[in-house]
Chain A
C-alpha cells in the first residue's frame, strides 16, 4: 500500500483575487438552464464547473462524470459583506485597532514587546491565550497613541443582523456627544438616553483592514491579511458537490440547497447592483445590502443567530456548516467513519459444536463475501475449481483479476476457459471457505473485544453462529441480536487481524486481566451437575461421555475407576479430570484451589467442606469440589481457564473450553434440564417460615413506629427522627427478602432447577428465587420506599400518613408503602402490583437515560486518550511526542496480563502450589527455613535490575510467609527449627517434609518462573493504551445503575456515586453535588475530642450560643444586648468568648458597624449600638440588627453544611459535608496531612496538582469499587495524568480538550466543528496529521500499534524464490545482479 506523505494541513483564508484566479468561470446568471434545458453558461450549473450528471461532459477538462474532479467558479459581490464564521474575529480585530489610522491601539514600546512575545510563542494554544490578553489590554485604550483619534467601544449591534457599531456614548471626551445631548435636551418628549454611535459597515472595515501593517497583524495573532476575512467574492463550488436531481424525465430538476442559496445571493447581488445603478435612496440600497448580508450568512451557516424576523421564517436550507456539523455531518459520518465492502450482517444463534475461535457463516453470505486469493502452484487446482463453479455455486468465485489488471466477472463468460487460462499471479476473488479469517462485531462496540477475529466455517441456513462461550465479550444473546462480519482483503490484514484480534489472544480483558471468554449458562449448569459428589457412571456411560467431548479426534486414556468393588464406577469428577487432560502424553498439569460460592468460610474445612464447595485441582486431577461459576465462569482471575491460560497458553485454555462446550451441550441434551410450575411451589414448611419472618418484621416495624410516635426513637447519627424511622423500617423490610431467600435456599430440594442455576451461578440469584416462591419484597423508587403521590399517602386506598407495612382491610394486610408480601407464584394484589410497576418503570427510565449518558462519556474519554501509546523507551506519549507518563502505570506492566487481584503481576500462592505439585521434593536437598530466605534473597538481588522494587518485596514477603508455615510444622512435630537431619534418619522428618518441606529445586523453579513470567508481562511498545484505558473506564459505566447513593459510613450522609459521580470526576466539575471532607483526628480514640473538633468545624451562629438577644430602649441610649450562654459554650468546648463574638459581628458582611459600636461589657454580655443618628430610623435599624444577629456565624466554617462523627473500628474520624479543605485542615485537632476531600478542583487549589492527580485516581477507584467493579489502577493513572499533565486540572470536556490537543481536525471531529475550522483559518493553524482522528480523516495509517514503525526496504533486493526441485536453494538473486 502506498500512502502519500503529507507534511500536514495548513488552514488559511482566500482573498477575493485568489478566489477569482482559482476559478474557471464567473457566475452571474440566475437561471440554471437555457431554453434547450442545457446548463446555461455563466449560471450555477455551468458545465465548466464540471458535469451535472452522468451524461454530462466537463467543458474545462473535457472528461466525463467519473473523471472530472470539478472546478470552481466565482461570484463577484457588488459590495463586500461579513463572513459569519469570521464575524467574531473581525470584531475582535476592530477592538484592537484605531478606527482612524488602522494601527494597533498599543503604545509603541508595548507593541514591540508584545510582538516579540508573540513571535516567541510556538504553541497555538499559548498564542491564542496571549492574543486574548492583548485584546483585553486594547479594549481599555480609547485614544489612539499615534493619531490621537478617540475610539468608541466596538460591539455588535444587537438590533440589526451582523452589523458592527462603534459606541461613543461612554467616551466623554468627545464634544459632539455633549453638544448633541444639550441639543436634544431642548426637545420635548425625548426620554430615551442618547446613543452616539457610528456604524462600521463592511466597506469601511475592509478599507481599515487594508491599511493595517503586517507587523500589527502579527501582534493580533493573524497569520494572513485581515481583509481576507471579508467577503468580496464568493467561490462557487463545483457542481459535483451540489448535484441536482432531475425528476419527471428531465422536465424539472430539484436543486441542491447550496445551489439554491447561491441563486438567492445572485438575485440579491443583482438587485443591489440595479439599485446602485439607478441611484435609489440610500435606505433602500442599505436594505438590499443587508439582505445580501443575510443571504451570504445563510449560505455559510443556515443556523446563524440573530436573523431578522422575515429571514428566519423561510424554509431551512442547509449551509456549509450544517454539512460539516454533528453526528450526521461530514466529519463524524463520512471522514471519521468510512463505509467498507465485504461485510455482512444477520441474526446470530448459538452452536456449542463450534470452536470458540470459529464463526459459522451461511453459504448465502459466503457466496457474496469473497477473498482475493493469488494463484500459486499450491492452490491453482482449488482455484480452477472455484472459477469453474462460478458465482452461484459454492465454493466458487466471483471475479478473476489478470496480472494486467483486467477484471473478469464470472457471472458471464466461459468459466471453463477462464479456469484453464488461470496462471500464477492471477488473482481469484473466491468465495469464503473454511478457515478464512473474518472479523466479527456487535454494536455497541464498547471495548476492543467487541470486534474480534474468528475463523470462518461455512454452514447451511441463514444465521451467523458461534460458541456461547464467546457471548460475553460481545455482550450478545440470542433473542434476535444481529451481528456484523467483515472480511479483510489482504494477507497483511489477515495476519494482523488473527494475531492481534483473534479470539484466542483476547481471552482476557485489559480492563483488569480477568478472563472474559469463559463458559456460561448451560455449560456451568451441566458441569455443576456432572461434578456432584453422587454422580456415578458405569463403564459404558463414562466412555460415552468421554467421547462426547472430543468428536472422537483425540485419544483418550481411561482412568482407573474410583469404585472398583462391588462394581466398577467412575465419578463425575473423574470425567472432568479426563476433560482437562484426556491422554497421558498431554503435558497439561493444572493446579489450583478455589472457593465456590457456597463455601462456608467460617468453618474453614477446606477440602472437607460439607457442601463440597472447595475446588482442588492437583496435576489436572479434580480432587474435590463441585464446579460452578467461580471455577469455570468469566470475571475472575483464578478460575480454571485463567490458570490454563497463564500457566500454559491460550490454546490450552481454548481447547479445554471447546471440550467443555461439546461435553456439556451433549450431556445436558441427554440429561434434560427444565423448569416447571412445581419448581416455584413453596412447601408447607417454607410457607410457615415465610409467614413467621414477615410477621416478626411487621411487629418490629410497628414497634419502631410506636416508639417514633412517642418520641423515644434512638436517633442515628446525623439524622432526625423521621429519617431514622424511615431508614430503620427500610432496613427491616429489606431484610425480609434476604431472610426468605436464605430459607428458600435451605428448604428447596436439591433438584430444584432454579436452585441449581443459582448455586452454580449460571443464572439467577437467591433473591430471584425468593421472589418467585416466597416474597417479592420492598419496592423502592428513587432509593426509598414508594413516595406519596397523594396527600400524605401513596395511594387513596390507605389511611393518611400511614407508614406501617401492615394496613388491615377486609381481613387482609396491605402495605401502604410498597412492600410486596406475595410472591410471583401467589400473585400480587392490586396495590402491590401498582407499586411494582412504579419500581419497574424507574428501572426502564434509568436504562434509557443511562445509555445516552455513558455513550457520550465514552466518546469524550476516547477522544482525549485515543492517541496515547507506549514507546520503545517505555514512556507513554501522545501523538506529537509529548510525554504523559515516564513509565506506564509506574511499572510498565500490561493490565491484561496481570494474574493477581489489584493489578499485581503474579499470584504467588497459586504458582507455588503448582511448583510444589509438578516438581515433587522426593526428599532430596530439603532446605531449612533460614536457607530458603537466603537463597531467595540472593536470586532476587542478582536479578534486581529486571524487576520492580514492589515486586521484590511482595515476593520476599510471600517466601517468608511460607517459611513461617515451615517453622510452625517443625515446632509442632517437635523437630529442630533451623536444621534438617540427615535423610531417612527420622520418621517425623519424613512426615514434616511431606507436610511443608521445600526443596532447593522447588525454590529455584519457583523463583525462576516468577522472574521469567514477570518479564513476559511487560506492556508492548506501541500498545494503544490510551484507547484501552478509555474503554476500560467507559465500558463499566454502561453497567452502572444511574442514580445510586451510598452511605459514607453513616446513614444520612449520601455521596453521589455511579455515572453522575464519574461524570463529575472526569468533567472536573467545579461544583460537585456532595462534597465531603474526611478529616482524620489527632486523637482518634476518644469521642469527646471528636465532638470538640466537630464543634469547631460546624458553623455555629450567634442565636445558638446566646441566651438572649434583646433590644433595650432607654432614654439616653438604645442598643441591642446579647447575652451568651457560657455554660453551654463551655460544655461543648466551643471556645467562644465575648471578644471572638465581637470580631465575628464586626466582620459580618451585612452588618456595617465600626469598632466603637460593639462593646463587650462583661464576660457574657455585648452591647451593640447603631450608628444611625436619626431617631426616627433608629428603631428600624435596631430591628434590622435583631434579625441579622442570630445568624452571625461565631464559630466554624461557613461553607460547611455539617460534620458527622464516623466510627470505624474504634477509630473516630469526621466526615465534613461541604467545602473549604484548607480551613478544615487548619482546624485544631485535625491531622492535616491525612485529611482528604472528594472535591478535585478544591484539592488542586489547596494542595496542588499532584494531590489533585492522586485524588482523581482515588475517587475513580472508590466509585468503581463501590459498584463492585474492579478496574486496573493503571487506567486510572493514565486518565489522571492526562487530566493533569498540563499543570492544571483539565476536564474531559470540549473546554479541556481544546487545551490538551493541538490538532484542528481532531477538535473539529469532536464538537463545534465549524468554529474550530474558522478559528484555525484566522490564526493560520497547522495540523501535522499525527493523531488517530486526523489519520483516520486523511486515510493514512496512524503511528500507533503496528504502525509505530515504518519499514525501510529496498524493493529490488527482494529475493525471488522459484518452485523447483530445490525450492529454497534455487532462489536466484537475479534482481541483485540487475
Chain B
C-alpha cells in the first residue's frame, strides 16, 4: 500500500495574490481543513481551471505505484492501475527546501514541479515525512 506523505482537504482562498502574471499558470492560495496548513501552489489553470472557494483533496505521495514500490523515474508503458487514477490533476516534482518561518516556529516545505512551485506552511510535526531532494507526486481532486 502506498504510504502517503501528506493528505488533506484544502479550500481555495485566493487566486494570483500578486496579480496575474502568466497566461496559463495561476498561483493559488489555499488553507487546509485538518492540519490548518497554508499552501501556495502554481497550477496550470488552462488545463485544470480552479476558482476561489473550490475545495479539493491534495495528496503528496512518493510513488504512484499502488503497491508502494519506489518510483523508478522512467516511463512505464501500459495502462497499469496507479494512484493517479483516482485524481484529476497530478504533478511530479522535487522537494528542494525545508525552512523555518522566522518567528512563528512554523515550518515551510518547498517543492518545485518543473518550475511550478509549491509552498506548504504548517506545524513542524507535519514535516517529519519529508526529506530534501525527495521526488514527490502531487495529486489533486476536487470535492
Q: Enumerate chain A interface residues (CB-CB to B < 8 A).
A: 531-534, 536, 558-567, 569-574, 607-608, 610-612, 616, 618-619, 621-624, 750, 917, 920, 969, 972-974, 987-988, 990-991, 994-995
Give Cα A612 to B135, complex, Å.
22
Which of these, B87, B100, B115, B133, contacts A624 with CB under 8 Å?
B115
Q: How far, in whole Å, are A607 and B94 apart by their CA atoms in the complex?
A: 14
Q: Is the CB of A624 within 8 A of B47?
A: no
- Say whether B99 contacts A611, CB under 8 Å: no
Q: Can you list 26 A-B contacts with CB-CB less than 8 angstroms, sorted by A residue number?
A: A533-B25, A534-B22, A560-B71, A560-B73, A561-B92, A562-B92, A562-B116, A564-B64, A564-B84, A564-B91, A565-B87, A566-B47, A571-B115, A573-B114, A607-B97, A608-B117, A610-B18, A611-B21, A616-B96, A621-B94, A623-B112, A920-B132, A973-B105, A987-B124, A991-B127, A994-B127
Specify which chain B residues have a CB less than 8 angstroms from the CB of A559 in the assembled complex.
73, 114
Chain B nearest CB from A752 CB (Å) reads 14
20 new A-B contacts at CB < 8 Å, known A533-B115, A917-B133: A533-B25, A533-B116, A534-B22, A558-B75, A559-B114, A560-B75, A562-B91, A562-B93, A562-B116, A563-B44, A564-B91, A566-B47, A566-B89, A571-B115, A610-B27, A612-B115, A618-B94, A621-B94, A624-B115, A994-B130
Cα separation A533 to B22 with both chains bound (whole Å): 7
- Which residues of B in the span 82-138 have a Cβ within 8 Å of any Cβ on A? 84, 87-94, 96-100, 102-103, 105, 107, 110, 112-117, 119, 124-125, 127-128, 130-133, 135, 137
User: In the complex, which residue of chain B has the Cβ closest to the Cβ of A532?
Assistant: B22
Q: Which residue of chain B is the closest to A568 with respect to CB atoms?
A: B75
Interchain nearest-CB distance for B39 vs A (Å): 12
Q: Complex: how many Å from CA A448 to CA B128?
A: 55
Contacts of B116 in A (CB 8 A): 533, 562, 571
Asked if A991 and B124 make an inter-chain contact with CB atoms under 8 angstroms apart, the answer reads: yes
The answer to whether B91 and A624 have CB atoms under 8 Å apart is no
Residues on B with C-beta less than 8 A from A973 are 100, 105, 124
Contacts of B105 in A (CB 8 A): 972-974
Give the distance in Å from the alpha carbon of A972 to the alpha carbon of B108 in the complex: 13
Does B42 reach chain A (CB closer than 8 Å)?
Answer: yes
* Cα of A564 to Cα of B110 in the assembled complex, Å: 20
Give the residues in chain A near B115, CB-CB below 8 Å. Answer: 531, 533, 562, 571-574, 612, 622-624
Shortest distance from the beta carbon of B91 to any chain A beta carbon, whole Å: 6
Which A residues lie within 8 Å of B130 (CB)?
994
Known: A560-B73, A608-B117, A974-B105. A995 touches B98 (CB 8 A): yes
Query: Which residues of chain B are near A619, meaning CB under 8 Å?
Result: 133
Given known contacts A565-B84, A565-B89, is B107 in contact with A991 (CB within 8 Å)? yes
Q: For A531, what are the chain B residues with a Cβ–Cβ distance below 8 Å?
A: 115
Q: Report yes or no: B110 in contact with A607, Cβ–Cβ below 8 A.
A: yes
| Distance in angstroms between the alpha carbons of A973 and B105 in the assembled complex | 6
- Chain B residues whose C-beta falls within 8 Å of the C-beta of A532 in the assembled complex: 22
- Chain B interface, number of residues (Cβ within 8 angstroms): 55
Question: Which residue from B40, B73, B90 sits with its C-beta under 8 Å from A563?
Answer: B90
B residues neighboring A (CB under 8 Å): 17-19, 21-25, 27, 40, 42, 44, 46-48, 64, 71, 73, 75, 84, 87-94, 96-100, 102-103, 105, 107, 110, 112-117, 119, 124-125, 127-128, 130-133, 135, 137
| Min C-beta distance of B139 to chain A, whole Å | 8
Q: Contact at B125–A563, with CB atoms within 8 Å?
A: no
Cβ-defined contact, B90 with A969, below 8 A: no
CB distance from B122 to the nearest CB of A (A): 11
Q: How far is the CB of A1284 from chain B (nearest CB, A)?
A: 51
Contacts of A564 in B (CB 8 A): 64, 84, 90-92, 137
A112: min CB distance to chain B, Å: 86
B93 partner residues in chain A, CB cutoff 8 A:
562
In the complex, what's the smallest C-beta–C-beta distance from A942 to chain B, in angstroms? 31
CB distance from B6 to the nearest CB of A (A): 14
A576 nearest in chain B by CB position: B115
Measured CA separation A534–B18 after assembly (Å): 16
Given known contacts A534-B23, A995-B99, is B117 in contact with A565 (CB within 8 Å)?
A: no
Task: Give chain A nearest CB distance to B21 CB in angstroms.
Answer: 6
- Minimum distance in angstroms from B83 CB to a CB of chain A: 10
Q: Are B42 and A533 in contact (CB under 8 A)?
A: yes
Q: B128 near A920 (CB under 8 angstroms)?
A: no
Give every chain B residue within 8 A of A917 (Cβ-Cβ). 133
When chains A and B are docked, how far (Å) is the Cα of A1017 from the Cα of B111?
37
CA–CA, A990 and B114, complex, Å? 26
- Interface core residue of A564, A567, A750 (most chain B CB under 10 Å): A564
Closest Cβ of chain A to B14, distance in Å, is 13
B128 touches A536 (CB 8 A): no
By a CB distance below 8 angstroms, the chain A residues around B98 are 991, 994-995
| Closest chain B CB from A596 CB (angstroms) | 14
B110 neighbours in A (Cβ, 8 Å): 607-608
Q: Which of B24, B93, B112 has the most CB of A within 10 A?
A: B112
With A534-B23, A564-B137, A973-B105 known to touch, is A624 a contact of B84 (CB < 8 Å)?
no
Q: How far is the CA of A972 from the CA of B98 in the complex (A)?
A: 14
Rounded to whole Å, the gap between the CB of A1269 and the closest CB of chain B is 34
State in angstroms the CA–CA spacing of A574 and B25 once bound together.
16
In angstroms, how far is the closest chain A Cβ from the Cβ of B70?
Answer: 13
**Least Cβ distance of A255 to chain B in Å?**
80
Contacts of B114 in A (CB 8 A): 559, 561-563, 570-571, 573-574
Q: Is the CB of B96 within 8 A of A562?
A: no
Bound-complex Cα distance A275 to B125 (A): 121
* Residues of A close to B99: CB separation below 8 A: 995
Query: Is B73 within 8 A of A565, CB to CB?
Result: no
Task: List residues of chain A with CB within 8 A of the CB of B127.
Answer: 991, 994
Q: Which partner residue on chain A sits nearest B95 by CB separation?
A: A994
A988 to B131, CA, bound (A): 13
Residues of A contacting B19 with CB < 8 Å?
Answer: 610
Closest CB-CB distance, A912 to chain B, in whole Å? Answer: 14
Cross-interface CB contact of A972 among B40, B47, B100, B132, cutoff 8 Å: B100
Whose C-beta in chain A lies nearest to the C-beta of B47? A566
A929 to B47, CA, bound (A): 48
Compute how far the CA of A750 lies from the CA of B19 in the bound complex, rounded to whole angstroms.
Answer: 13
**Cα A558 to Cα B76 with chains together (Å):** 12
User: Given the complex of chains A and B, what is the CA–CA distance between A570 and B100 in angstroms?
Assistant: 31
Q: Complex: how many Å from CA A561 to CA B84? A: 14
How far does the alpha carbon of A1160 sit from the alpha carbon of B40 in the complex, in Å?
85
How far, in Å, is B121 (CB) from chain A's closest CB?
11
* Pair B96/A534 contact, Cβ less than 8 Å: no
A624 to B88, CA, bound (A): 24
Q: Which residue of B lies closest to A539 (CB)?
A: B75
What are the residues of chain A within 8 A of B107 when measuring CB–CB? 991, 995
Give bound CA distance, A920 to B137, whole Å.
21
Q: Which 7 pairs, one residue from A and one from B, show the smallest C-beta to C-beta distance?
A: A562-B114, A610-B18, A573-B115, A534-B24, A623-B112, A571-B114, A565-B90
Collect the chain B residues with CB atoms within 8 Å of residue A536's CB: 24, 44
A999 to chain B minimum Cβ distance, whole angstroms, is 12
Distance, CA A647 to CA B109, complexed state (A): 28
Find out whether the CB atom of B128 lies under 8 angstroms from the CB atom of A987: yes
Chain A residues, CB < 8 A from B97: 607
Measured CB to CB, the closest approach of chain B to A1282, in angstroms, equals 50
Chain B residues, CB < 8 A from A988: 124-125
State A569–B124 Cα separation when bound (angstroms): 33
With contacts A563-B44, A973-B105 taken as known, whether A920 is within 8 angstroms of B133 at the C-beta atoms is: yes
Q: What are the residues of chain A within 8 A of B113 when measuring CB–CB? A: 562-563, 571
Closest to A994 in B: B98
A569–B93 alpha-carbon span in the complex (Å): 13
Distance of A624 Cα from B117 Cα, bound (Å): 7
Chain B proximity of A210: nearest CB distance (Å): 93
Contact, CB under 8 Å: A623 / B89: no
A624-B22 contact, Cβ under 8 Å, with A566-B47, A608-B119: no
Give Cα A558 to B73, complex, Å.
9
B21 contact from A558, A566, A610, Cβ within 8 A = A610
Q: How far is the CB of B35 from chain A (nearest CB, A)?
A: 14
Residue numbers in A under 8 Å from B125 (CB-CB): 987-988
Alpha-carbon distance between A348 and B48 when the two chains are bound, in angstroms: 50
